[in-house]
Amino acid sequence: MNLVCSLHIEHVSPAGLSRREISRRPGSAEATEAATIASLRKWFFARKPDAGFILTDFPATLLQALVFAEWMDARDETFAAALAAPGASASVVEYYRTLGLLVEDGAPLAA
């Protein structure tokens, strides 16, 4: 993460954003996913266009990946790569693999 700070790239995660929200009783899985998407959407559209960022723990589901792709399209932006953490959703991994964005087995990023 020190490299992220030195490059002035914003690091964002749903957990970090949800800590800023008022704590409430846990809801259903659908309500939790809707709240996660809403928090990330608010952040995404508030940031400067083309500002670099590292997004961790999102998208965690295929629905979130598809919604994120719509956001990127809406701002006419692209991203360079997706890295999958151990235990990542197989459908999300396959989605980014199909798009050619998944970096696997320590392969270097394309320039």
Count of domains for the chain: 1
What one-letter code names the amino acid at 13?
S
Give, for all 111 residues of the chain, the pLDDT tens digit. Answer: 444 455 577 878 777 665 555 455 566 888 888 999 999 999 999 998 878 888 888 999 999 999 999 999 999 998 889 998 888 999 999 999 999 999 987 666 665
Q: In this structure, what CATH number is given to the domain that contains residue 16?
A: 3.40.50.300
Look up residue 102 and give its DSSP letter: B
**Residue 56 lies inside a defined structural domain of this protein:** yes
Q: The whole model's pTM is what?
A: 0.75
Beta carbons of 101 and 79 less than 8 angstroms apart: yes
Q: Which residue do the tokens 């709240």 mark?
A: 35
The CA distances from residue 38 to 45, 56, 62, 85, in Å, are 11, 16, 16, 23
**Residue 104 lies inside a defined structural domain of this protein:** no
Backbone angles phi, psi at 102, to 5 degrees: -80, 125
| Rg of the chain taking only CA atoms, in angstroms | 15
The alpha helices in the chain, defined as continuous H runs, are: 2-6, 14-20, 29-46, 62-74, 90-98
